[in-house]
Amino acid sequence: MLLDQVLERLDKKKERIIEIRRYLHEHPELSFQEEKTAEYIRNFYTDVPVDHIETNVGGQRGIVVTINGAKPGKTIAIRADFDALPIKEETGQPFASKNDGVMHACGHDGHTAYMLVLAETLAEFKDQLKGTIRVIHQPAEEMPPGGAIAMIKAGVLEGVDAILGIHVMAQMETGKVYYRSGNTQTGRSYFKLVLQGKGGHGSSPHLANDAIVAASSFVMNLQTIVSRRINPFDVASVTIGNLDGKGTFNVIKDSVTIEGDVRAMSDETREIVEREVRAFTEGLERSFHVTCDLDYKNDYPVLYNDPEVTERVRQSLEHAQITEVEAVLETPPQPPSEDFAYYLKQVPGCFFYVGASPETGEAYPHHHPKFNIDEKSLIISAKSMAAAVLSYCGGSGNE
């Protein structure tokens, strides 16, 4: 069976996947700045028998690789992201970041490493494949508006029947692969509110208009949105990540800036939160006689996994009986947001998860300076994606 041949070939490349991941980990680049990473990806394909390579897709260093099978069939897209984060690494690893203040603290180095070797391997078997495999190497997942939008506008999904993606998860158990159908990851919104009052002396508050008091009321009132406006069976969170009101102890502050983060598991819930934030802002102007400048932006949508595609992925993983995979499990909804959701708005697909908790030590969360993964998750990712792709393109026994 073709799947067995592909898995066997991937086994022979396990160490190479790790080597690529460690190189990329040492050389991280921030979103929309991934010049050398894109060059590395492009150079990798120099001697790989793919049928087409397109660079600078979307005008932001995206790369799309096409593998045409020998027989007609569906077009399946697979995506890996390759940007890093503005975080100073504290792992102490021998392959730690060489770019001070920039770190692969989310696993995108691993995504790119497994995808490169998987694409190479699939290309080596293209004479046995059905249909077309479109490999999407996407920049800028971490920073809104994200890299997916421009790539979609550039046409990467034209003719695509389904799209698949994987995220390694440091706080999920290594050796297990996780899936979920329907709404799976939250949609995200951002807001920035600038309150303008009237400054004054601390001894004469009646002659001033205290922006800090107004801001404090706003922050506390926001906590009632989730507790009193959202259905208890829905999911939402409202977080104030920045309240810039620093001044002098005896001076009444005239202006305060607040920045917040909103997550919701449905578009309807996200609309409710936005409506309430705007209402509280209007209330501040009436109650505290301040002026408010609110910038509210909805970015990454709720990530929705198509039930049919997700079930196909689940069946393909179980059927493959991958040696390193101990179990295929359903996961609860995931709180973080992900710009893969934009692809899923356009075509049916599935974004699933590979456990990557370190073999020893603490499993630090994603975006932490000590974030690390068990590198066994990389071969698991490559094999899992191979099984899912071949369920469409031939050889898995359930196409």
Residue 276 a catalytic site member: no
Is 322 in contact with 7 (CB distance < 8 Å)? yes
Residue 141 a catalytic site member: yes
Tell me which of 81, 83, 89, 276 is the catalytic residue.
Answer: 83
How far is Cα 383 from Cα 349, in angstroms, rounded to an integer? 18
Max Cα-Cα span within the chain: 83
- Name the nearest CA neighbour of 40 among 57, 16, 58, 63: 63
Q: Is the dihedral of CA 181, 306, 351, 14 positive or negative?
A: positive
Query: Beta-carbon neighbour count of residue 306 at 10 Å?
Result: 18
- CB burial readout 191-205, b (16+ within 10 A) else e: bebbbebebbeeeee
Edge to edge, the sheet with strand 176-179 lists 52-57, 62-68, 130-138, 71-81, 162-169, 349-355, 176-179, 327-330
Q: Is the dihedral of CA 205, 211, 215, 217 positive or negative?
A: positive
Q: Are strands 255-264 and 236-244 parallel, antiparallel or unpaired?
A: antiparallel
Is the peptide bond between 145 and the residue preceding it cis, with omega within 30 degrees of 0? Answer: yes
Tell me which of 141, 142, 210, 274 is the catalytic residue.
Answer: 141
Catalytic residues: 83, 141
